[in-house]
Chains A and B, each alone.
Chain A
Amino acid sequence: MHRRGVKRALAIPLLLSMVVAACGGDDDGDTASDDTSVEATTGDATDDTGDGGDDGGDDGGDVTTPATVEDTDTSIVREEGERTYGGDVIFGLEAEAVGMRPWEDACGEPCLNIQLSMMEQLMRERADGSYGPWLATDITSNDDFTVWTMTLRDGVTFHNGEPFNAQTIVDMYPVQQSGTSGAAAINAAKLASLEATGDMEITYTLSTPNSAFPASLAGVLGRVFEPKAAAADPDGFTMNPIGTGPFVMDKRDIDNETVVVRNENYWMSDPDGNQLPYLDSITFRPIPDEGTRLDSLLSGTVNMMHSLRQGTIRDARGADGIQLYEFQGNNTGGGMYNTAVPPFDDVRVRRGLNLMNNQEAVIDALGGTGISLPATQWFSPDSPYWTQEAADAWPTFDFEAGVESIQAYIDDPARSDGKAPGELIDVELSCPPDPTLIAAMQVIEQVWTGSGLVNVTLTQFDQATHISNAVNDAHRAHCWRWSSNQDPSLAIDPVVAPPEESVSNFPNFFNEESFQLAQQALQTDDVEERTELYKEIMLNFAEDSIFWYSGYTATMVAVDPSIQGINGWLLPDGTLGNGFPNAFVTFTEVWIEQ
């Protein structure tokens, strides 16, 4: 009891900071809480770089994933054409990045675009979902994945001239431990200690096996900042962050614009030996209103923008003279039932409600028809962890079967809610007051109420209260988002762990088999084996019906057609990077066509 209370006390500020930082995007970190977030067009708790991945790299050729939604091209392709130096990008962001301290500040997609233009990570995700070295050159583990040894890249310096080496990682560690985001990332990665075992070699020791540790190094834990500058003036770091990245801070005027300019001493070159980056500067301008941001692009006020809203993607598709880059993430919209509270403690009720959830209509209400696919599991069809078997197991709309399932509960003299047989069940359905979610919940309400068996109450609370209600178990049927583009373990483990041990087990449901499967998945790095384990968990999710789903998150980067290199950038080992996940752009190889 006390333990859970402490966890809640820690979790609430973390979740709230996530929401605050994310108005429009959300969190990037490797934190357990990142794995979930409120379903809103403004939020998904997806990682900036992660995606569950198989091992092995790519040779730099194209990795083309099939278009999964009508008119949507989500393929990652290396662009052809002559790279040219010079030019300025003006990027319309959906929100300002409040903090630039990786160890402290939650950082959503708008923030990531700024932060990762100046800072780099030890690992990055490849197009095929595996992880490759960036500031590292190699990483290996022992047999049980509890000790990881990483070799660092030589010849890299920070913007202030300080060298990057193993001591840098050692010096970063106490700073990370002292910060909200850093501590959560350390905890999620199961990192117990680290030490420099050479000038350019680090050894990480974990508390429990974690085959997905490289994914953690592609998030907050592996985001490299200059530790001396951070320790000397932690608050000042937000205004003048120092990393090893391709761009250097030039001007930071919060809520107006942040300008970064080319790092003349950047370490990386393109395959032809030309020093990167190509651009002279990037100006980031927060333009919160979706329509205004798109209009700014169309009028030439900015030449790049991003959006995490399906409605904006729909509008951008209809506009001329711009190039769209769309992405289907693993982030799965929908909601959850608090199974600690009757009648949701009975699977007949949960399954009945799920059978009466018309996903197509909900997606239409969300504005996602033709943009977002109906979700059936925690992985989009683009993910290597998506399986047809899990997709087939997810209940499709069947009103009659739903009524039958709930009727069985209602007629049961031993029904758990204490009501007399035949009385309606009470369902409080709650979402944040976003217009799209309001529409979606009313679509669900019509069918549930229309069954004549369910008395539905619709409630709306601001995002912070909505999250707080879930953390404090004051929720019933609750809009929520699931999964992320990080390694599956980061999203799934906290939810399948015993509720008394995991504050992120918001449904308060425990399936011993799912828990054991998740533990097994941390003890192997074989993607096929892991896919099979996670498939079994997805099948259990369908059987237990503790969640309901709407669709997968769609995001977009839109640019002036002269801007190139957003899609097909390379890792230092020549493998193809993961493009522009969740509207986060890697600027290393972006150029402007002359």
Chain B
Amino acid sequence: MASTDTAPSAPSDSSTGDPSRHAIGDAARPVPQGHKPKRQPLWKIFRSMPIVVKMASIWLTLVVVGAIYSKLDVTVFDGALPLQDPNLQLNNFNPATGEFGTVEPLSAPSASHWLGTDALARDTFSRIVHGSWVSVIVVVVSVLCGVVIGGLLGSLVGFVRKKTETIVMAVVDVVLAFPALILLLALVSIFEVRDLFIISFVIGVLSIPIYTRVARANSLAVSNREFVTAARAIGTKPTRILRREIIPNVLPTLLAYAMVAAASVIVVEGALSFLGLSVQLPTSTWGNMINQARRDIKENVWQVLFPSLSLTITVLSLNQVGDFFQKRSAFRGSAL
């Protein structure tokens, strides 16, 4: 975890003239109350990315767009959008037509099935696109859960300290001591949870401790800065200091960390799916696609390869983008 204290040296904020960077610890210029840091436009951030990070960003965008598209196809357009039914077994009896399908299972990529078909003659491309919805929801819900609850908690205890910090961090340490994946497996199998949002929420809850730790570490550092001392000296209420000085300065690091954590979350969901403990079948997820295809790996490697690649590239992309934003947040800290 990159820390503001260990960041490499870099030009000072004042030299860049970026008003968003003077807020941290500039004792000579305490942050005016109500000041809102100016946000850099997304396209400028994109332009500043290395080529690999750019490609990663594009891939992540595609995944999100694909997820939304597949959901719209099912919920709004009732399958009318140009994407094949991910669950239709094209070699089985089709009750809608009253006929048996003739499409070969485990077929190689072709014009009619871009990524081939699986063992039940279902279109693999469509299943991967629909599977991305599961990954996106798991990431969004769990990251939101972690950032909001863990971030607030960590910022609070890092600022307040004393007994509150001792108690909260003791609880966090206890929860962290449990192997999260094992705990998750036990929870979903005992309570027979198969709802996507509940599974995502459970993953999010289990990731709260680590977000708390990250937020607390940054909150501790920020709390000792001159501008916080100055705010205290002029009689600013602690809640206002927390809201206006601490959290805004902890958040960038936390969000950058969230990108990296999101990659882990996708892997965790993939593991659950692989073990048959994620969302209910026949909903496709990348993990259950790999699980179902592994039996036929000698006969047709494509059906394991494509969902695996989707998973790998997404995780890699999140790591790349996460690293990029972590460096940006560290760069911000270096101006102290």
Task: Give the interface of A toward B (CB within 8 A).
Answer: 291, 311, 315, 358, 361, 364-365, 367, 397, 399, 432-433, 435-436, 438-439, 441-443, 445-447, 449-452, 457-462, 465
Contacts and interface: CB of A to CB of B under 8 A. Distances in A.
A480 to B, nearest CB: 17
Interface string B158-183: 00000000000000000000000000
A439 B291 contact: no
A392 to B, nearest CB: 22
Contacts of B96: 450
Nearest first, the 10 closest Cβ-Cβ pairs linking A and B are A433-B276, A450-B95, A460-B276, A458-B281, A435-B295, A442-B282, A361-B92, A435-B292, A446-B89, A358-B93
Contacts of B61: none
A110 B265 CA distance: 38
Contacts of B229: none
14 contacts: A291-B297, A358-B92, A365-B120, A397-B93, A433-B276, A435-B294, A435-B295, A436-B295, A446-B87, A451-B95, A458-B281, A459-B192, A459-B194, A460-B276
B228 to A, nearest CB: 52
A439 B192 contact: no
Given A435-B291, A450-B95, A443 B89 contact: yes
B236 interface: no
A400 to B, nearest CB: 8
Contacts of A450: 93-96
B11 interface: no
B48 interface: no
A365 B292 CA distance: 11
A28 B314 CA distance: 47
B276 A438 contact: yes
Nearest to B95: A450
A465 B188 CA distance: 13
B33 interface: no
A358 B94 CA distance: 11
A449 B276 CA distance: 21
Contact of A462 (B189, B194, B288): B189
B288 to A, nearest CB: 8
B295 A452 contact: no
Contacts of B192: 459, 461
A439 B119 contact: yes
Given A311-B295, A433-B275, A439-B292, A447 B93 contact: yes
B280 A459 contact: yes
Contacts of A433: 275-277, 291
A433 B290 CA distance: 13
A540 to B, nearest CB: 28
Contacts of B275: 433
A367 B95 contact: no
A438 B292 contact: yes
Nearest to B288: A438
A461 B92 CA distance: 25
Given A443-B89, A446-B88, A446-B95, 20 more contacts: A291-B297, A361-B92, A361-B93, A364-B91, A364-B105, A397-B93, A399-B93, A435-B291, A435-B294, A438-B288, A438-B291, A442-B282, A445-B282, A449-B95, A450-B96, A459-B192, A460-B276, A460-B277, A461-B189, A465-B189
B98 interface: yes
B298 A361 contact: no
Interface of A is mostly: helix
B280 A442 contact: no
Given A367-B295, A460-B276, A441 B281 contact: yes
A418 B120 CA distance: 35
A442 B291 CA distance: 14
Interface residues of B, number: 31
Interface string B269-300: 00000011100111000001001111111100
A361 B189 contact: no
A410 to B, nearest CB: 16
Contacts of B288: 438
A443 B280 contact: no
Contacts of B87: 442, 446
B64 to A, nearest CB: 27
A449 B85 CA distance: 14
B89 A442 contact: yes
Contacts of A459: 192, 194, 280
Nearest to B97: A450
A459 B294 CA distance: 20
B105 to A, nearest CB: 8
Nearest to A309: B295
Nearest to A448: B95
Given A365-B119, A461-B189, A452 B194 contact: no
Nearest to A450: B95
Contacts of B295: 311, 367, 435-436
A311 B294 CA distance: 11
Contacts of A436: 295
Interface string B223-264: 000000000000000000000000000000000000000000
B294 A439 contact: no
B271 to A, nearest CB: 12
Nearest to A41: B295
Residue of B87, B93, B96, B194 with most partner-chain A CB within 10 A:
B93
A364 B118 CA distance: 13
B17 to A, nearest CB: 58
Contact of B281 (A397, A460, A461): A460
B260 to A, nearest CB: 30
Nearest to A442: B282
Interface string B4-17: 00000000000000
Given A446-B87, A446-B89, A291 B280 contact: no
Nearest to B105: A364
A443 B194 contact: no
Contact of A458 (B93, B98, B282, B293): B282
Contact of B95 (A435, A452, A457): A452
B292 A443 contact: no
A442 B298 contact: no
Contacts of A457: 280
A442 B281 contact: yes
A433 B273 CA distance: 10
A443 B189 contact: no
B95 A442 contact: no
Interface in B277-336: 277, 280-282, 288, 291-298
A364 B94 CA distance: 16
Nearest to B190: A465
A403 to B, nearest CB: 8
Contacts of A462: 189
A442 B297 CA distance: 19
B89 A438 contact: no
B23 to A, nearest CB: 51
Nearest to B98: A399
A458 B94 CA distance: 19
A292 B326 CA distance: 43
B214 to A, nearest CB: 34
A536 B259 CA distance: 65
Contacts of B297: 291
B7 to A, nearest CB: 46
A458 B298 contact: no
Interface string B70-107: 00000000000000000111011111101000000100
Contacts of A441: 281
B92 A443 contact: yes
A438 B282 CA distance: 9
B95 A438 contact: no
Nearest to A367: B295
A442 B88 CA distance: 10
A367 B194 CA distance: 27
A370 to B, nearest CB: 14
Contacts of A364: 91, 105
A439 B295 CA distance: 11
A465 B191 CA distance: 12
